[in-house]
Amino acid sequence: MLIGIAGMVGTGKTTLSRALSSRFGLQLALESVEGDNPWLERFYGDPDGMRRYALPLQLHFLSTRFASLRKMRGTGGSWVLDRTWYEDAEIFARGQYEQGFMSAIEWDLYRSLYAELLYSEAARPPRLLMFLDARLPIVLDRIATRGRAKEKDTSTTYWAAMHERYQRWIHDFRRCPVLRLDVRDYDLVRDPRAVEDVAARVRQRLDGELPQTELWPPRSMFGAA
Q: Per the residue annotation, which of 36, 46, 48, 82 is the catalytic one?
A: 82
CA 146 to chain centroid, in Å, comes to 18
Q: Is 181 exposed, middle or buried (0-12, 13-18, 19+ CB in 10 A)?
A: buried
- If we measure between CA atoms, which residue out of 181, 183, 198 comes closest to residue 138? 183
The answer to whether 15 touches 203, Cβ cutoff 8 Å, is no
The number of beta carbons lying within 10 Å of the beta carbon of residue 170 is: 17
What distance lies between CA 5 and its chain's CA centroid?
Answer: 6
**Number of neighbours of residue 118 by Cβ within 10 angstroms:** 16
CA-closest candidate to residue 67, choices 122, 139, 112, 14? 122
28 three-class SS: strand
207 is catalytic: no
Q: Which residues are annotated as catalytic?
A: 82
